[in-house]
Amino acid sequence: MADLPSSVLFCCDHNAVRSPMAEGLMKKMYGHTAYVQSAGVKNDLEVDGFAIAVCQEIDVELSRHRSRSFEEMQDWGDDLSGFDLVVALSPASQRQALELTRYYHLTVEYWPILDPTGLGETREQKLSAYRQARDQIRAKMVERFGPPTEDAA
C-alpha cells in the first residue's frame, strides 16, 4: 500500500461537486483506513444532483452529504491542523487551504480536477462531464494512494 495518510481533507469551491465526490470515493476505495472529510471555500450550494447520480453509478452514496465551509469545520471543532493531508481540487480552495495551514506542518496538494458544472447542453453531456471529473479523482487517488484496499466496502 502506498503512503496512505491517517486523515485527509478534500476541498473545493462549494463542497457540492468535486470534494464530496472525492470524500465518497476515498471512503469506498480505502474503507476506514483514513479519516476523510470534505469542505469548501463557501457552502452556498447543496450537493449537486449530477454528482449524486454519477457516484450512484459506482455505488458511492452522496445524497446524505451536507455541504460545509472551512469556517464551519473549525466552528464544529474539526481543525485543519488535525489532518495529515489537505487535497485541494480547485485553485480557490488551494489558496484558502494554504492560507489556513501556514501555521501548521501539514501537506497541501493540488489536484487539478475538471469543474463539470456548466458543461454540456443535454443531460447526457452533463453526466459525461461529471463522470470525467469523478474518474479523474479516482485516477489521482490510485496514483497517490495505491490500489483500493481489499476491505473497502
Residue 104 pLDDT greater than 80, yes or no: no
| pTM score of the predicted model | 0.90
Q: Are 88 and 8 in contact (CB under 8 A)?
A: no
Question: Mind listing the pLDDT tens digit for each residue in 88-99?
Answer: 999 999 998 888
C-alpha cell at 11: 476541498
Predicted confidence at residue 63, as pLDDT, reads: 87
Q: Are 11 and 20 in contact (CB under 8 A)?
A: no
> CB burial class (10 A; 0-12, 13-18, 19+) of residue 64?
exposed
Question: Alpha-carbon distance 140 to 14, whole Å?
Answer: 20
Domains and CATH numbers, the chain: 7-145 (3.40.50.2300)
C-alpha cell at 9: 481533507
Ramachandran angles phi, psi of 59, nearest 5°: 65, 35
Question: Mind listing the pLDDT tens digit for each residue in 48-87?
Answer: 899 999 999 999 999 888 888 888 887 877 777 788 899 9
Question: Alpha-carbon distance 15 to 2, whole Å?
Answer: 27
Q: Are 44 and 69 in contact (CB under 8 A)?
A: no
Q: Which one, of 21, 66, 61, lies nearest residue 153 by Cα?
A: 61
